[in-house]
Amino acid sequence: MSLSPRESDVLSTIVEEYIATACPVGSRTVARKCPLRLSAATMRNTMADLKEKGFLEQPHTSAGALPTPLAFRFYVDALLTFRPPDEHDQRLIEAQLGDAGDAINDVLRRASKLVSSLSSSLAVVAAPAGDNVRLRRVEFVLIAPRRVMAVLVLQGGVIHERLVTVDDDMDSWELVRYSNYLNELLANLTMREALGKILKELKDASHGLSSLTRRALSLAQELMESDPSPEIFIDGASRIFQQPEFSDVQAMRHLLSFLEERSRLLDLLSEAMSQKGVHVTLGMESEMAKLDFGLITSSYRISGLPAGLIAVFGPLRMDYAKVVPVVDYTARVVTGLLMQRL
């Protein structure tokens, strides 16, 4: 749906005033803050037209107007011009993440805290999953009889550890030989590709495999099939509960329930990761429909492919002009740090 220039200016003024105050916006306030010089009658008529088109609603006859989810969608898509974060925020993001150390999980944990602080909202950062990045190395460490720690080193320095129980006693030298064989066989494959190759090797050469090769493949099969969901770092719940929207206990319960249901959260993040660049999803457009929320996401990448996700959950009246560039820039910095580790 298109709006006239006058309607666009009036709607932009209402949305930005509502973002700043969380209160219904009256025609007098719009007339004072809108760049257009409109008479009171013209302003009321324009707001009435916006209400008829579904962009505004009025909770009470005597109250001001509230922008609807449709208004926020139009505001984000058609009225906002996004600019990079200011220089102070850019330097802060670069310094904080650059000093996080070599462990990528430390970088991502710090990113969640930083994005939450800069956005005053709830930040969620998803670590890379095995299906999204390629395998660099497999190592096995004997930690107790029949208990083996498997270490997967992925692109970008991502490390996954698994504790595997084996049926037979193994010694350290045997595990080193397994590692050498699997590293040659599986190098540069994703976890899904690696599992497929392992199963093919076991099927195609079922009668011609040496005992060592069969045991190495079987151990790797168990390892790949036990690959868990990616780790998720969440920060800023206390910040979002300070927003007026969460004075309602029911709204708070809906949010807590959503965050606790890891599978639903992962489904939402996985869907967002398929989007290129930074993306804004409004509650009505996803599983968050009951939450009346905004979700800003941007994937960080390895070798041009999405590896993980940085996201901000906030009320529908989030300051998108500020938060979208922060999420996008943070994802770009994380991408650069991962690429340095290739």
Domain-by-domain residue ranges, the chain?
5-79, 87-129+230-340, 135-225
Report the pLDDT value the prediction gives residue 341, as an integer from 0 to 100. 74
Q: Of 121, 101, 125, 122, give the one whose Cα is nearest residue 111.
A: 125
**Which range has the worst mean pLDDT, 55-69, 172-186, 234-248?**
234-248
Which parts of 176-292 are beta strand (E)? 232-235, 278-282
The CATH architecture one would assign to domain 135-225 is: 2-Layer Sandwich (3.30)
Domain 87-129+230-340 CATH assignment equals 3.40.50.11890: no
More confident site: 6 or 170 = 6
Using the 8-state DSSP alphabet, how is residue 342 labeled? -
pTM of the model: 0.81
pLDDT at 10 over 80: yes
Query: What is the pLDDT of the chain when averaged over all its residues?
Result: 85
The three-point CA angle 170-175-181 to 5° equals 135
Nearest 10 degrees: Cα torsion 335, 131, 266, 95: -20
* CA dihedral angle for residue 12, residue 14, residue 19, residue 23, rounded to 10 degrees: -170
pLDDT score at 277:
83
Q: Kindly state the tokens that stand for 309.
A: 């996700």
Distance (Å) of CA 98 to CA 303, 307, 337, 341: 19, 19, 7, 12
Contact present, 239 and 311 (Cβ < 8 Å): no
Three-state secondary structure call for residue 109 = helix
CATH, domain range 5-79? 1.10.10.10
Is residue 257 within 8 Å of 224, Cβ to Cβ?
no
Examine the pLDDT at 284 and tell me if it is beyond 60.
yes
305-315 and 135-144 strand pairing: unpaired
pLDDT digits (tens, 9 = 90+) for 206-250: 666 677 788 888 888 877 776 556 788 999 888 877 888 777 777
pLDDT over threshold 90, residue 254: no
More confident residue, 57 or 147: 57
